[in-house]
Structure 1
Amino acid sequence: MKFSKYLLFFLIIPLFSFTLHKYYVSLCEIDYVEDQKAVQITLGLFIDDIETTLNKTHNTNFKIATKDELPNLDKYFEEYLNNHLNININNKLEKYTFIGKEYDDDVVRFYLEISNIEKLQTIEVTNTCLLKDFKDQQNIIKIYAYKKHKTFYLDKKNDNCLLKF
C-alpha cells in the first residue's frame, strides 16, 4: 500500500509541472490597407503580464479588466505602447493613433493606426513590450501588405525587424 502511494505521488507531480508552465508571448498584426492609405495595427498582450509590468513601473495596482480598473487606464496603456512599440515606415518614425482596446478572455487587444501612407516601401518594427519583466518573452510580428505575408519572432536579443517591398 505504501509503495502505491509513492507511485501515485511520482506519477502526479510531473503532470502538475506541465500545467504550471507559462508562456510569455504577444502577437502584433500589422496590415497595410492600400485603398485607405493606412497601416492598421492590432497588438495582443496577456492581461496579467501587462498588468505586472505597469504595476511595477508605476508602483500601483491597476486591476486591469476588473470592475475596480482605474478609469484613466488608457493613458497608461498609450504611454507604455509609445515607449515600447515603434513603427518606422519608409525610414521615418511614424506616430500611431490609439484607437482603443478590448478585453478578450485573458488578452487585451490594442488597436492602433497610422494614416496617410501613400506607398509602403519599408516597414521596420521595434517591439520591446514586456521584455524587461519577462526573460522568456517572445513578441510575434505578422505583417501583411501587397498580398505579401511575413512573420518575425522578436525577443531580448533581437527586438526589431525590417521588411522591404
Structure 2
Amino acid sequence: MLQLLLISWFRIFHPFYVSVTEIKQNPSNHSIEISCRMFYDDLEKALEKQYHMQLDIVKPKDKAQINKLINDYVKKHLIIRADGKPLNLSFIGYEIQEDGAWSYFEVKGINAVKEVQVHDDLLYEQHPEQINMMHVIVNNQRKSTKVDNPDADANFKF
C-alpha cells in the first residue's frame, strides 16, 4: 500500500513526459507498421494548441475530425525514411488505452530495409522535458534508442 501511495505521489508532483514509437517491418505483407503511444492528455493539449480548438479525444463528438487532426499532427512531427527515401504514412486509426493514446500508421510496398532514419519531435512544443523512445524492428532484429527534447533524430542500421 505504501508503495502505491509513493508511486501516486511521485506521479502527481513529478510528472514525466514520454512517448513511445515502434516501427516494425512486416515482411509477410511488404509493409512497415508504425504505432505511437503518447499520454492522451498531452496529445489532446498539443492538438488544441496547434489547431486552436477545444477537443475531447477520449469521447469525441466528431471522431472523423479527431482522426484527421491526429493524422496531421503525427505526420508533421514523425518523419521516417527507409534507405534514404521518405515514407508516406497512411493513418489507420487511434485508440485510448488507460492513460495512453495509441495512433497507428502503415506504409505498404516496402521490401528489404537496411537503414531507418527517424525524426521524432512529438510533443516537444508541449514539454521541454519530453523524452521520445523509439523501437525499430527489421528482420526480427530490434534496435531501440531515446531522444530528449530538443534532439529528435535517430538512425538505425540493420
Counterpart in 1 of 2:32? 39
Using the alignment, how far apart are the partners of 1:92 and 1:72 within structure 2? Answer: 29
One-letter amino acid of the counterpart of residue 133, structure 2: I
Higher radius of gyration, 1 or 2: 1
Question: Cα 1:101–1:135, aligned 2, differ >3 Å: closer, same or farther?
Answer: same
In the alignment, is the contact (CA less than 8 A) between 1:89 and 1:122 conserved in 2?
yes
Counterpart in 1 of 2:77? 84
Identity %: 24
Stretch moving more, 155-164 or 80-89: 155-164
**1:23 aligns to 2:50 (yes or no):** no
1:67 to partner: Cα distance: 5.3
1:20 to partner: Cα distance: 2.1
**1:126 aligns to 2:82 (yes or no):** no
Counterpart in 2 of 1:147? 140
In the alignment, is the contact (CA less than 8 A) between 1:62 and 1:69 conserved in 2?
no
Deviation per residue, 1:25-69 (Å, 9 max, x gap): 001111111121111111111110011111111221111202546
Counterpart in 2 of 1:161? 154
Using the alignment, how far apart are the partners of 2:24 and 2:7 within structure 1? Answer: 40
Instruction: Flag structure 2 segments of 5+ consecutive residues without an equivalent.
Output: 1-5
| SS state at 2:43 partner | helix
**1:98 aligns to 2:64 (yes or no):** no
RMSD in angstroms over aligned alpha carbons? 1.9
Using the alignment, how far apart are the partners of 2:94 and 2:123 within structure 1? Answer: 17
Question: Cα 1:20–1:78, aligned 2, differ >3 Å: closer, same or farther?
Answer: same
Instruction: Flag structure 1 segments of 5+ consecutive residues without an equivalent.
Output: 1-13
One-letter amino acid of the counterpart of residue 132, structure 2: N
Counterpart in 2 of 1:6? none
TM-score normalised to structure 1 length: 0.85
Stretch moving more, 142-151 or 38-47: 142-151
Question: Cα 1:93–1:135, aligned 2, differ >3 Å: closer, same or farther?
Answer: same
In the alignment, is the contact (CA less than 8 A) between 1:102 and 1:110 conserved in 2?
yes
Stretch moving more, 30-39 or 64-73: 64-73
Question: Cα 1:45–1:148, aligned 2, differ >3 Å: closer, same or farther?
Answer: same
Using the alignment, how far apart are the partners of 1:78 and 1:109 within structure 2? Answer: 12
Work out the number of aligned pairs and report it: 152
TM-score normalised to structure 2 length: 0.88
Counterpart in 1 of 2:51? 58
1:104 to partner: Cα distance: 0.5
| SS state at 2:33 partner | strand
Using the alignment, how far apart are the partners of 2:142 and 2:96 within structure 1? Answer: 26
